[in-house]
């Protein structure tokens, strides 16, 4: 089955094409367009190139997958029709860089490839089984009814970590449960498996996973919450926004804009939004960059530790995404001084970890520390494949 995974930004369109089957997973092509004024034109152009390059004709594409961020009153892995478009548009203000682009992209694909199945995998889907108490904010009922609750994000990535870490720990029962989660739902398992998954990249989140199911997340109502992001604030006391607007003479919109594009690593360090630059400046003695790095590590540790009570212990701590995969110093800092809790890194394995999966667990340590590379497009292609196979 040929599956096109579409990654849509307000001015970009990127794609990967996969051949997926029961025992075959193969990426056939990838491409992208920046500074796109019209998604439809970019999509048509991509399809022409794929045909000219002899990769595929449009008619051969069986399904298109969309990694949608969040929808109003809708989540899961679902067919991308009017209901999805409406849900995305209902929360356009919450994810302005993504929701309008995906709503547009889904419409465009419906017109351009009418025969292909369209599937949306919401980034919130993995969190649908978080206990109610973990999803609610203590807001008035009218706020809750308006959709103000903890949604969780990076669901595709964390679900993949749930599956892959279970495999690496010899728990094929959990891996199998996770693989079919969106089709079959959760079920009880006799032996617990408790994982904290740290997706640390351009945007970051920490998720607590028990028996393959997310039970806790650092991400809240919008992708602006939790751990500080590259240029977004992370968690902030709600009282700070109106206060800052007043004393700094900003409108609420201007203040919100600063929180979503001039904050995070960039805002604190003043150096840049890429951890490589911030860390390099910190090593050269830039005090603000040093604080930015320390703040990031502090918040990852705060969130990871907050999950241990809920999980009732820990079997594995996993690092994934650009920052988590590529920075031994960061992993060492997150794990520092936790020997008493069964967490210790093997320094050589940590330093030596290159591209790919790695086990960093120190000798005698109880908790497995793992690196698992993120490949969100492949994860999406797998989910779309399962969904479409189930629909047929
Ligand atoms: P996105 O959320 O944009 O998909 P990624 O998971 O690719 O992000 O992570 C991007 C971030 O990862 C960069 O901003 C940078 O901080 C960090 N990063 C990426 N590659 C490296 C590397 N080779 N060494 C250190 N840090 C890296």
The alpha carbon of 325 and the centre of ligand 1 are apart by a number of angstroms equal to: 8
pLDDT of residue 354: 86
Architecture of domain 170-371: 2-Layer Sandwich (3.30)
* pLDDT of 115 higher than 90: yes
- Closest-CA residue, ligand 1 atom 12, reads 322
* pLDDT of 163 higher than 80: yes
The alpha carbon of 276 and the centre of ligand 1 are apart by a number of angstroms equal to: 8
The alpha carbon of 33 and the centre of ligand 1 are apart by a number of angstroms equal to: 20
pTM as predicted: 0.95
**Cα–Cα distance, 205 to 217 (Å, whole number):** 7
Can you name the CATH fold of 2-122? Nucleotidyltransferase; domain 5 (3.30.420)
pLDDT of residue 390: 87
Could you read off the pLDDT of 172-207 as tens digits, one per residue?
999 999 999 999 999 988 899 999 999 999 999 999
Could you read off the pLDDT of 355-365 as tens digits, one per residue?
899 999 999 99
- Closest-CA residue, ligand 1 atom 2, reads 202
Q: Is 276 in the pocket of ligand 1 (CB under 6 A)?
A: yes
* pLDDT of 96 higher than 90: no
What's the farthest any 2 CA atoms get from each other in the chain?
60
Could you read off the pLDDT of 58-70 as tens digits, one per residue?
999 999 999 999 9
What is the pLDDT of the chain when averaged over all its residues? 96
pLDDT of residue 216: 96
Q: Is 94 in the pocket of ligand 1 (CB under 6 A)?
A: no
pLDDT of residue 227: 97
Task: State mean pLDDT over 141-155.
Answer: 95
Q: Is 202 in the pocket of ligand 1 (CB under 6 A)?
A: yes
Q: Is 205 in the pocket of ligand 1 (CB under 6 A)?
A: no
Task: State mean pLDDT over 277-302.
Answer: 98
pLDDT of residue 375: 87
Residue of 322, 324, 379 to test ligand 1 pocket, by largest number of atoms within 8 Å of CB: 322
Q: Is 200 in the pocket of ligand 1 (CB under 6 A)?
A: no
- Closest-CA residue, ligand 1 atom 24, reads 326
pLDDT of residue 190: 87
Could you read off the pLDDT of 206-243 as tens digits, one per residue?
999 999 999 999 999 998 899 999 999 999 999 999 99
Tokens of 197: 């998954």
Residue of 123, 157, 204, 276 to test ligand 1 pocket, by largest number of atoms within 8 Å of CB: 276
48's CB contacts (< 8 A; 6+ apart) are none
Could you read off the pLDDT of 365-384 as tens digits, one per residue?
999 999 999 989 999 999 99
Could you read off the pLDDT of 311-344 as tens digits, one per residue?
999 999 999 999 999 999 999 999 999 999 999 9
CATH 3.30.420.40 range(s) for the chain read 2-122, 170-371
φ, ψ of residue 300 in degrees (nearest 5): -60, -45
Task: State mean pLDDT over 289-301.
Answer: 98
Q: Is 95 in the pocket of ligand 1 (CB under 6 A)?
A: no
For the CA of 273, the nearest atom of ligand 1: 14
Could you read off the pLDDT of 246-271 as tens digits, one per residue?
999 999 999 999 999 999 999 999 99
- Closest-CA residue, ligand 1 atom 18, reads 322
* pLDDT of 392 higher than 80: no
Percent of residues, the chain, with pLDDT higher than 90 = 94
The alpha carbon of 141 and the centre of ligand 1 are apart by a number of angstroms equal to: 39
Tokens of 342: 């069964």
Q: Is 274 in the pocket of ligand 1 (CB under 6 A)?
A: yes
Tokens of 319: 């690092």
Task: State mean pLDDT over 136-161.
Answer: 96
């Amino acid at each position: 089955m040929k599956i096109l995974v579409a990654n849509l930004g307000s001015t970009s369109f990127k794609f990967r094409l996969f051949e997926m089957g029961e025992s075959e997973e193969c990426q056939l092509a990838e491409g992208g367009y920046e500074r796109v004024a019209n998604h439809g034109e970019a999509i048509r152009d991509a399809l022409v190139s794929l045909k000219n390059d002899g990769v595929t004709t449009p008619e051969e594409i069986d399904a298109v997958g969309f990694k949608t961020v969040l929808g109003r009153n809708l989540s899961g892995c679902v067919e991308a029709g009017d209901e999805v478009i409406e849900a995305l548009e209902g929360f356009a203000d919450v994810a302005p860089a993504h929701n309008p682009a995906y709503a547009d992209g889904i419409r465009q694909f419906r017109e351009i490839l009418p025969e292909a199945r369209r599937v949306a995998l919401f980034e919130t889907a993995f969190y649908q089984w978080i206990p109610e108490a973990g999803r609610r904010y203590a807001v008035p009922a009218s706020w809750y009814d308006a959709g103000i609750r903890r949604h969780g994000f990076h669901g595709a990535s964390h679900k993949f970590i749930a599956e892959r870490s279970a495999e690496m720990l010899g728990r094929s029962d959990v891996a199998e449960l996770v693989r079919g989660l969106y089709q079959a739902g959760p079920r009880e398992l006799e032996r617990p498996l408790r994982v904290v998954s740290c997706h640390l990249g351009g945007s970051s989140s920490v998720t607590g996973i028990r028996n393959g199911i997310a039970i806790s997340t650092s991400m809240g109502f919008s992708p602006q919450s939790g751990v500080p992001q590259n240029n977004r604030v992370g968690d902030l006391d709600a009282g700070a926004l109106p206060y800052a607007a007043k004393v700094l003479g900003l409108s609420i919109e201007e203040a919100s804009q600063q929180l979503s594009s001039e904050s995070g690593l960039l805002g604190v360090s003043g150096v840049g939004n890429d951890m490589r630059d911030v860390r390099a400046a910190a090593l050269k003695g830039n005090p603000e960059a040093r604080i930015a790095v320390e703040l990031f590590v502090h918040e990852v540790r705060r969130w990871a530790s907050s999950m241990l009570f809920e999980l009732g212990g820990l079997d594995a701590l996993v690092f994934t995404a650009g920052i988590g995969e590529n920075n031994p110093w960061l992993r060492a800092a997150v794990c520092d001084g936790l020997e008493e809790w069964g967490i210790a890194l093997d320094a050589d394995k940590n330093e030596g970890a290159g591209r790919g999966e790695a086990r960093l667990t120190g000798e005698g340590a109880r908790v497995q520390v793992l690196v698992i590379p993120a490949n969100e497009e492949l994860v999406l292609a797998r989910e779309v494949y399962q969904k479409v196979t189930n629909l047929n």
